[in-house]
Structure 1
Amino acid sequence: MPCRFVLPRAAALSRAALPSTRSTVASSRTFTSSRPRRETVVAAQPVPVKRPVGAFRGGLFGFLFGVTLAGASAYYYVIDEYKLSNDMLTEDIYSLQASVQRLHDHVTELENKSAQSPK
């Protein structure tokens, strides 16, 4: 009698310890080509259409940007050079005016000496 009770339980324990081929096949096959039914379909937001910047338009804007940048830098360079040359010219004019004033003072001093000298 004890064999009737022990043997089926031992067989059940041995089956529980080893995985059955049927459950192994079902659990190993995870790849499916269709969506699972439990997933809900979410309505996708429409993607806004983005106009591509064409080569002509991009090239034109790049050219205009480059010309503007080069023109502005050349303008500031020319203005800086103009101020520098104007300052140098003003300095030369002031030094020439000072030398002319010294020459005038020297000539008037010589005229005064010659007028005072007896003949």
Structure 2
Amino acid sequence: MASRLPTTLRAFTRTAPVLRSPISLQAQRSFQTSRRQLQDAVPVAPVAPVVQRRPVGAFRGTLFGFLLGSVLAGTGIYYYVIDEYKVSNELLTEDIYALQAAVQRIEAYVKNLEEQVPKK
């Protein structure tokens, strides 16, 4: 190989080799690869079969959401109506008692007037 180089380069090849420090040897990159790295990766089969869950379909999810929302809204409205019914029932009972007291006062007033009016 030295015979094919030009004369100026032959002089450099005949001189004593340059000692390289261990740091410079470590700094050089190696582009070598082994046969194992060049081989294609072989996929590994899973050991246990994976059980896949079926995804919830759009129709089933929508139907379930609608029914759940309807039940919750119906329950809320039911308790609201029951509470309003109790309040209105109490108010009506109080009005009935007030009306009964007013009728009794009027009846007592009319009896008092009848006693005071002379009979003809």
Q: TM-score, structure 2 length as denominator? A: 0.61
Secondary structure at 1:25 match in 2: coil
Q: Which has the higher contact order (CA 8 A, sep 6+)?
A: 2
2:61 maps to 1:55: no
Q: Does 1:79 align with 2:82?
A: yes
Q: Deviations over 1:11-70 (max 9, x none)?
A: 65x34242168x62159x7xx5669xxxxx8x6544321111011111111111121112
Tell me which of 17, 25, 30 is aligned to 1:25. 30
Match of 1:16 in 2: 22
Tell me which stretches of 4 or more aligned residues in structure 1 moved more than 6 Å.
none
- CA distance, structure 2, for counterparts of residue 20 and residue 71 of structure 1: 78
**Aligned mates of 1:45, 1:79 — CA distance in 2:** 56
- Cα separation, 2, equivalents of 1:33 and 1:87: 89
Give the aligned CA root-mean-square deviation in angstroms.
3.6
TM-superposed deviation, 1:110: 1.9
More helix per residue: 1
Question: Mapping of 1:30-49 within 5 angstroms?
Answer: 32=37, 44-49=47-52
2:108 is equivalent to residue 102 of structure 1: no
**Hey, what's the Cα distance between the residues in 2 that align with 1:33 and 1:67?**
63
Judging changes above 3 Å, is the alpha-carbon distance between structure 1 residues 70 and 33 closer, same or farther for their aligned structure 2 residues? farther
Which of 86, 92, 96 is equivalent to 2:95?
92
- Between the aligned residues of both structures, percent identity stands at 49
- Please list every run of 5 or more consecutive structure 1 residues that lacks an aligned counterpart in the other structure: 1-10, 36-40
